[in-house]
Amino acid sequence: MKHALPFTLTAALLAAPAVADETTEAAADLPTAGEIELAELLEGREAGEPVRCLRHGQRDRLTVVDNTALVFRDGKTLYVNRPKGARFLNDWDIPVLHQFSSSLCALDRVEMHDRFSRIGGPVLFLGEFVPYTKPAKEG
């Protein structure tokens, strides 16, 4: 009988990682708050072919979607960029764009600065820009 307790504890400890993995996998399937916010921004829009660069005039307004993407507005078109290191995006930080030409392009740097201290933080590298537009109304 005195060997039953260690066996029970060992079995419980061995089973714990399996339960933890299932919980982690289930959480990974749920959309993040950033993905939900991005979906709301893009509701009713269709994705177009990705582009590598945006001219200065194609960047009227910038929205930072936490841990997800940078969204640039050009009139009625939204350009979504999911930079490498998107997990560091925070709408409270100020993005400072470092571009190497007159256009903002894939692989250009974005440095996130703390809003209060202005101290530079994570550096992200842009990917391609995916345009989203509302489909033309038929009729």
26, pLDDT greater than 60? no
Tokens 């994705």 sit on residue: 47
Amino acid at 122: P
Q: Please, what's the b/e burial string for 100-126 (b: 16 or more CB within 10 A of its CB; e: otherwise)?
A: eeeebbbebebebeeeeeeeeeeebeb
Residues 107/125, Cβ–Cβ less than 8 Å: yes
Residues 46/132, Cβ–Cβ less than 8 Å: yes
Q: Which pLDDT belongs to residue 17?
A: 55
Q: Which pLDDT belongs to residue 134?
A: 94
Cα(114)–Cα(95) distance, integer angstroms: 9
SS (H, E, C) 17-59: HHHHHHHHHHHHHCCCHHHHHHHHHHCCCEECCCECEECHHHC
Identify the residue with better confidence: 59 or 17: 59
Name the pTM for this structure.
Answer: 0.77
Summarize pLDDT for 14-24 with one digit per residue, the tens.
555 555 555 55
Summarize pLDDT for 85-133 with one digit per residue, the tens.
999 999 999 999 998 899 999 999 999 999 888 888 899 999 999 999 9
